Structure 1
């Protein structure tokens, strides 16, 4: 069996695709996977590291203002459709799975035109432009949030599945998480992370908290800054006078996020759908700072869905300071009953079988197409 995965631009599109591929391989070990991504996207670096064959397209997204660049984008789209058809004819997949991002558009559209079963996964509450476009052509849709289903009401096989990244953190070893950070097992710590590329606003607020951290004795703080902000953030933390400075750990990136999440007491983060899926899967209380710099402000509805359920506290970026962040962190860390309540609320939202649900959905559309062809 052969399956094509596509999606890119950010980790929020890439890691769900990889999680679906991993689940599919576990169910069908003889499967060959091919990942079609963008030449400029993170996927061109990340996917080959997972041992999956990779092909690149030259594709860009639309600008929101009138621009001649949009004309070039349309030309690139149709060129990418043509190239996608070539790759699909050569690989002969049984199905194509798209997880969003600009590159997903031409690949899934080309698959539809070739009569190949197609499934898209939408990570956010409000669907992205690409998945809205593709919803007219696909056989099936899986969504991370129940509130997304009305956007895909025209597609009979629409499933509230959750985010497949949730499956990846199930059973993660907390002891290895503590060990990787050099902390004794059971040490309470707050994990602050701005997504795969880091977030300057969260880093700024984290640094602003440092002089106040002596008010939380015993707790450690792990600031995951992103590669581009690491040296600057580390140097600023070192330059601050604080009795808690020995309990602050500044790291550029974490490669074993599931294990570290399993060990953490509280997470401060952006509200990307994949991260939220991981938090809820392990029952992790969170403070969410949605990015205002994403398409359709889609992170705010993501964060609000958790805050409304009592699983998270949301702080809008315009309200984020060292003081406001510390107040939220301190309130939760000092109140074990509240933290436990948030953890339980998060766990109720978690869907650890998401990848399994999507794989079963994929099996359905492949079988349906086989029966139709045979008939």
Structure 2
């Protein structure tokens, strides 16, 4: 199987659908250096720089938002989707991949629809507990389906679906002592890491601003804001970053005692792999609420569903910081939340599909 093969991944808009695919690509790149790996994303998405840094050939196609409601923008979305189908057709005919692999994202849908017409093998991966619209639109034509949680199998055809966990980069781990020394953090003051996802989250940024007076006297706060999404001034025990590369995230995770973040499943997977105590703040009314409840039900995280009442968050965090036993319990449950070696399992399925 070492002869020339072309593998096509797709995803984007956020890094959520991208991170697990890059983990799988990394496995395959090491085993098959002669294979050519392509990635289809959005024209202006944050994923482009991340993907190209990993050595994949990047292609952009139009992205149409998959709205669940009627709006004046819906007609434009239909036009964009039609354009995306045409671009996907020419792209697939030009690349002719042995397999197309996606983990959700609206940018993947036209590719999978065209791949089905062209009888190309496809693999979709379901990260979140409940499938989003993109995977629901792609599942009927998929050759194989993988899911992160056993509870998700029921949403798909059981004959072609397998639970493998969620792929994650093994290089994410670092020693806490080394991380704190590298970041020049105080050794005996606990660290809270706030994240809003790869593109930041305005609501979490506003929450951090309100919480700082209560948190900085007892903890060091590291804040991943997203580009141009926060204006919190510099102050003692607080530092912020617009965006962090893989090495930066590795150090931040290792240094943190508690992580406060949205409940996207890529992030939950990283927390599980590393065994971190976490407080999850899901996007209201989204699939993230099911993710957060899944973690809560397994004793793997605390969750806050209403950030409009920040007065509830500070006592929760301070209580966690004062209780190493709670941190240890949450971290252990989080570590046991998901099956291991998902990237290798998914890479094995890709090899089967390539033939």
TM-score, with length taken from structure 1: 0.86
Aligned residues: 349
Q: Aligned with 1:297: secondary structure?
A: coil
Runs (4 or more) in structure 1 with deviation over 4 Å come to 184-187
Going from structure 1 to structure 2, the CA distance change for 1:259 and 1:356 (only over 3 Å counts) comes to farther
Of stretches 79-88 and 300-309 in structure 1, the one that deviates more from structure 2 is 79-88
Deviation of 1:205 (Å)? 2.0
Partner of 1:251: 241
In structure 1, the residue matched to 2:257 is 265
Does structure 1 retain, via aligned residues, the 8 Å contact 2:66–2:133? no
| Ranges in structure 1 where 5+ consecutive residues have no aligned partner | 239-244, 368-375
**Cα root mean square deviation, aligned:** 2.1
Could you tell me which residue of structure 1 aligns to residue 295 of structure 2?
306
Match of 2:222 in 1: 222
1:167 touches 1:354 (CA, 8 Å); kept in 2? no
Alignment partner of 1:363 is 2:351: yes
CA drift of 1:169 comes to 4.8
Unaligned stretches of 5+ in structure 2? none
Counterparts of 1:204 and 1:283, CA distance in 2: 27
| 1:82-126 Cα shifts (integer Å, max 9, x gaps) | 322222222221111012111100112222221221001122111
Alpha-carbon distance in structure 2 between the residues aligned to 1:61 and 1:214: 40
Moved more, 131-140 or 258-267: 258-267
| Residue matched to 1:370 | none
Farther off after superposition, 84-93 or 66-75? 66-75
1:152-301 counterparts in 2 under 5 A?
152=156, 154-164=157-167, 166-183=168-185, 188-213=190-215, 216=218, 219-230=219-230, 232-233=231-232, 235=233, 238=234, 245-255=235-245, 256-292=248-284, 297-301=286-290
Structure 2 CA distance, aligned partners of 1:262 and 1:116?
41
**CA shift digits 1:166-194 (9 cap, x unpaired):** 33455434455324422256763111111
- Structure 2 residue aligned with 1:316, among 299, 305, 312? 305
Q: In the alignment, is residue 81 of structure 1 matched against residue 69 of structure 2? A: no
The 1:128–1:169 alpha-carbon spacing in structure 2 relative to 1, beyond 3 Å, is farther
Paired residue for 1:373?
A: none
Inter-CA distance 214–70: structure 2 relative to 1 (3 Å threshold): closer
Report the Cα distance in structure 1 between the residues aligned to 2:31 and 2:265, rounded to whole angstroms.
25
Determine if contact 1:193/1:269 at 8 Å carries over to the other structure.
yes
Are the counterparts in 2 of residues 37 and 103 from structure 1 also a CA contact under 8 Å? Answer: yes
* C-alpha deviation, 1:222, in angstroms: 1.0
- For residue 335 of structure 1, what is the aligned residue in structure 2? 323
List per-residue Cα deviations over 1:248-291 (Å, max 9, x = no partner).
Answer: 22222222213321221110111111111000111101001101
